[in-house]
């Protein structure tokens, strides 16, 4: 068995032989940090207990339900009833936004919450439909099928896209590919939501003005053109009622913002708006005065839609696009919201479990007359503030919605469309975050550009184009970080053994004749050329300074502490750099390569090429060895050989 040792005079790493050294080091690390098999205890348990733990992991309700009690139920009951009062008007409103029958919106707050309560990982997330995905589905599916001319086929395609969303989300969860959601950065989401809020608000002007004819396009120019083109259809009665409801909702929002304890005021405001609107429309015969109403809502529960899924090749590409993009947006929003509220209570949410839960509830939802659902911010905030303790609040909401469907659905048939428009517009105002955009501008200009690209792309072109532009800019930025990694020249902090970036620490000093460079990223084919040129540029600059001061650059030390990986192109690059340095009578050494980097360097014979005596444990060891080889006195402030650390 090989071993690694430290030369007491020069403190370099001695390898003998390379493969045995790596095996020994791996074994030592495993024994040190993982002395026992972490799954050994699980394997030694009885099969029944192992099955129980597996079920609790994959189906979270089995973990919290056995410990559930009436004390917790009191809080969840109140929270569930509260979010139901918000879910009813929102369900009807967002269904109308997606050009779907209002009853579909109510079904979407009945079945999916039950599924999420079983598989969901968050205590506070409240399930429901969201405006952005509703509008995206409408704008995408309506490109191939009109919801007015062929509502039956349109509905079938909506269910099919929801099914595809569920399959996509479930697959991401099982394959643990949550990293895809991370491509929707905070700045992208901020801009996307803001642009979506603008076009949704403009879309609702159809209901506010009482228009019968409108455009199916979603961009700002088309919507404004449609509003003024049909100005002869404007009804002042509808405008007055809409503005009144909108002012009422905004006042309740203001009250909640000023006094958070009165959150319930804004939570029940949409339901109050619907109830008052229904009474007003019923007693004044509002539909005779140009104020449109929802229309017939049948009582009862008959949600089966599994036979309505349509996989016709003529529509399949559009349905797949709608399902994948809306599913990704729903995941980003739902997981981010669930994590945000969990952090407030010092808890964690497993993103992969959430994806599986979202996927299951959308798959089942597509079989039960529901369209895409996730965790909307408004419902979740109300659920959290109402004091929910577990996912039981979603079950309470589902039961309450079932009772509504059985006994109360027909009562909402007189709901004025202008009231629903006011509810949606009031909710959208909170998604336009001017302060967040200004914060991005102050902190990071590129993030601000990404945010504005999403905002204006969504508002003036289309939702998918705006999202693609923003994500594209985010990827370009990521590639720039990868292809142009950071590097810096290190200097010695006075009276210490520390070496830090000389630009950041003005008091640090360089060591004459020695250039210490730190590389802070993986070295591979995408950035090798840049790294080589950057190293050589540092060397040229240092040589110019050394010649001016009358000294000679003789050693270049590369600190590889931050290099997490390297490929064969990266190794060849280091060999080329060393060859260039030798041609100029400059020696090269490397410092503290990580275990994975060391393995590849040993396997590729790079260590043999550079020489094992030129691999050091620390910068201080390397600089002292260089001074020792030159037989010069140590620079001021260096500690003695005995005092310096020599542990791997």
pLDDT at 5: 45
Residue 646 within any structural domain of the chain: no
Question: Which pLDDT value is given to residue 27?
Answer: 55
45 and 100 share one domain: no
Residue 215: left if φ>0, alpha if ψ -120 to 50, beta else—which one? beta
Q: Is residue 460 part of a domain?
A: yes
Q: Is residue 33 part of a domain?
A: yes
- When pLDDT is cut at 50, 70 and 90, the band that residue 2 belongs to is very low
* Among the listed residues 128, 126, 130, 124, the one whose alpha carbon sits nearest the alpha carbon of residue 107: 128
Give the pLDDT confidence score for residue 33 in this predicted structure: 43
When mean pLDDT is compared over 168-182, 238-252, 374-388, the highest value belongs to: 238-252
Query: pLDDT tens, 219-261?
Result: 888 888 888 888 888 888 888 888 999 999 899 888 888 887 7
Give the separation between CA 492 and CA 509, rounded to whole angstroms: 5
Residue-level pLDDT at 386: 80
Residues 142 and 219 in one domain: yes
pLDDT confidence bin for 630, thresholds 50/70/90: low
Residues 272 and 362 in one domain: yes
Using alpha carbons, list the distances in angstroms from residue 496 to 1, 128, 239, 617, 634: 37, 59, 74, 17, 13
In a domain, 123, yes or no: yes
Is 577 found in the same domain as 431?
Answer: no
Which pLDDT tens digit goes with each residue over 569-606? 999 999 999 999 999 889 999 999 989 899 999 999 99
- Name the percent of the chain lying above pLDDT 70: 89
Does 469 map to a domain? yes
Structure tokens at 405: 């469907």
Comparing CA positions, the residue from 171, 170, 177, 158 lying closest to residue 322 is: 158
Query: Sorting pLDDT into bands at 50, 70 and 90, what band is 300?
Result: confident
The yes-or-no verdict on residue 92 having pLDDT over 50 is: yes
Instruction: Tell which of 61, 79, 95 closes a domain.
Output: 61
Q: What is the pLDDT of residue 566?
A: 92
pLDDT 10s digits, 547-574 = 777 778 889 999 998 898 999 999 999 9
**DSSP string of 191-253?**
HHHHHHHHHHHHHTHHHHHT-S---S--SHHHHHHHHHHTGGG--HHHHHHHHHHHHHHHHHH
Report the C-alpha gap between 505 and 491 in whole angstroms. Answer: 8
Mean pLDDT, all residues of the chain:
83
pLDDT above 50 (res 16):
no
Q: Out of 125-129, 382-386, 396-400, which region has the weakest mean confidence (pLDDT)?
A: 382-386
pLDDT of residue 42: 52
In this predicted structure, the answer to whether residue 272 has a pLDDT above a threshold of 80 is yes
Q: How confident is the model at residue 271 (pLDDT cuts 50, 70, 90)?
A: confident
CB-based contact 113:87 (threshold 8 Å)? no
Residue 38 has pLDDT above 50, yes or no: no
- Which of 460, 478, 496 corresponds to the end of one domain? 478
Helix runs in 34-69, H state only? 40-44, 47-58, 61-64
Strand partners, 293: 416
Same domain, 104 and 250: yes
The pLDDT-based confidence of 645 (bands split at 50, 70, 90) is very low
| CA 570 to chain centroid | 31
The number of domains in the chain is 3
Q: Are residues 501 and 455 in the same domain?
A: no
What is the predicted pLDDT for the residue at 629?
Answer: 65
| pLDDT mean over 335-346 | 81
Q: What is the pLDDT of residues 59-75, one digit of tens each?
A: 889 888 888 898 889 88
At residue 282, the pLDDT reads 84
- Mean pLDDT, rounded, for 355-369: 94
For residues 395 and 502, membership in a common domain is answered with: no
What residue numbers bound the domain in which 41 lies? 3-61
Shared-domain flag, residues 102 and 36: no
Residue 281 DSSP SS3: helix
Judge whether 638 lies within some domain.
no
Residue 329: CB partners within 8 Å, gap ≥ 6? 132, 133, 136, 184, 192, 467
- pLDDT band at 159, cuts 50/70/90? very high
- The model's confidence at residue 137, banded by pLDDT at 50, 70 and 90, is very high
Prediction pTM value = 0.73
Mean pLDDT, residues 41-52: 68
Residue 195 in contact with residue 454, Cβ under 8 Å?
Answer: yes
Domain boundary among 444, 478, 512: 478
Query: Going along 460-552, which residue ranges are E strands?
Result: 487-492, 499-501, 514-519
Co-location of 537 and 607 in the same domain: yes
- What percent of the chain shows pLDDT beyond 90? 29
Q: Is 67 exposed, middle or buried (0-12, 13-18, 19+ CB in 10 A)?
A: exposed
CA distance 327 to 320: 10
pLDDT-derived band at 481, boundaries 50, 70, 90: confident
- Could you tell me if 24 and 127 lie in one domain? no
Closest CA to 214 of 231, 205, 226: 226
Domain contains 635: no
In this structure, is residue 342 part of a structural domain?
yes
- List pLDDT tens digits, range 425-456: 888 887 788 888 899 999 989 999 999 999 99
Residues 434 and 543 in one domain: no
CATH code, domain with 576 = 3.30.750.24
**Domain identity same for 42 and 155:** no
Decide: 356 and 398 in contact? Cβ < 8 Å.
Answer: no
């Amino acid at each position: 068995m090989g071993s690694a040792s430290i030369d007491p005079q020069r403190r370099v790493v001695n390898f003998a032989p390379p493969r045995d050294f790596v095996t020994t080091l791996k074994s030592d690390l495993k024994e040190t940090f993982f002395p026992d098999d972490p799954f050994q205890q699980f394997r030694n348990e009885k099969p029944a207990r192992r099955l129980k733990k597996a079920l609790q992991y994959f189906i979270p309700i089995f973990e919290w339900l056995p410990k559930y009690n009436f004390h917790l139920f009191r809080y969840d009951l109140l929270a569930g009833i509260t979010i139901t009062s918000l879910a009813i008007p929102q369900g009807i409103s967002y269904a109308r936004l997606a050009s779907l029958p209002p009853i579909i919106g109510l079904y979407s707050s009945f079945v999916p919450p039950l599924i999420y309560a079983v598989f969901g990982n968050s205590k506070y997330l409240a399930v429901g439909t969201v405006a952005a995905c509703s509008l995206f589905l409408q704008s995408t599916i309506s490109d191939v099928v009109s919801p007015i001319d062929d509502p039956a086929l349109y509905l079938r395609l909506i269910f099919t896209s929801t099914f595809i969303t569920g399959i996509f989300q479930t697959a991401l969860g099982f394959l643990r590919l949550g990293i895809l959601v991370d491509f929707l950065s905070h700045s992208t989401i901020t801009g996307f939501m803001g642009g979506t809020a603008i076009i949704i608000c403009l879309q609702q002007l159809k209901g506010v003005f009482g228009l019968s004819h409108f455009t199916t396009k979603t961009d700002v120019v088309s919507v404004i053109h449609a509003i003024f083109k049909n100005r002869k259809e404007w009804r002042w009665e509808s405008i007055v009622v809409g503005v009144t409801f909108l002012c009422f909702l905004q006042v309740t929002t203001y009250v909640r913002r000023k006094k958070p304890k009165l959150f319930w005021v804004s939570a029940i405001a949409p339901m109050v708006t619907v109830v008052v609107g229904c009474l007003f429309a019923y007693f004044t015969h509002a539909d005779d005065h140009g104020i449109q109403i929802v229309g017939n809502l049948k009582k009862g529960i008959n949600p089966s839609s599994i036979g309505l899924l349509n996989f016709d090749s003529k529509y399949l590409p559009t349905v797949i696009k709608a399902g994948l993009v809306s599913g990704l947006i729903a995941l980003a929003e739902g997981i981010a919201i669930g994590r945000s509220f969990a952090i407030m209570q010092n808890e964690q949410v497993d993103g992969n479990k959430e994806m599986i839960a979202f996927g299951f509830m959308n798959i089942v939802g597509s079989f039960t007359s529901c369209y895409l659902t996730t965790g909307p911010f408004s419902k979740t905030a109300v659920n959290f503030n109402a004091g929910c303790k577990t996912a039981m609040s979603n079950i309470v909401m589902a039961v309450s919605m079932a009772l509504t469907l059985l006994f109360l659905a027909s009562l909402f048939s007189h709901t004025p469309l202008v009231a629903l428009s006011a509810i949606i517009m009031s909710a959208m105002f909170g998604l336009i975050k001017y302060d967040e955009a200004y914060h991005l501008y102050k902190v990071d200009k590129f993030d601000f550009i990404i945010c504005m690209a999403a905002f204006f792309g969504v508002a003036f072109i289309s939702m998918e184009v705006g999202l693609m532009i923003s994500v594209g800019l985010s990827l370009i930025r990521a590639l720039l970080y990868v292809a142009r990694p950071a590097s810096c020249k290190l200097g010695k902090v006075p009276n210490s053994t520390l070496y830090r970036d000389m630009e950041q620490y003005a008091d640090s000093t360089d060591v004459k004749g020695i250039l210490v460079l730190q590389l802070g990223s993986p070295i591979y084919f995408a950035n090798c050329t840049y790294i080589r040129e950057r190293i050589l540029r540092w060397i040229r600059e240092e040589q110019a300074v050394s010649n001016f001061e009358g000294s000679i650059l003789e050693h270049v030390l590369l600190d590889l502490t931050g290099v997490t990986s390297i490929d064969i192109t990266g190794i060849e690059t280091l060999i080329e750099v060393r060859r260039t340095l030798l041609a100029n009578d400059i020696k090269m050494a490397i410092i503290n390569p990580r275990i994975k980097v060391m393995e590849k360097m040993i396997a590729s014979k790079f260590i043999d090429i550079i020489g094992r005596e030129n691999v050091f444990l620390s910068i201080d060891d390397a600089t002292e060895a260089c001074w020792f080889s030159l037989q010069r006195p140590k620079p001021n402030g260096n500690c003695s050989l005995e005092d310096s650390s020599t542990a791997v």
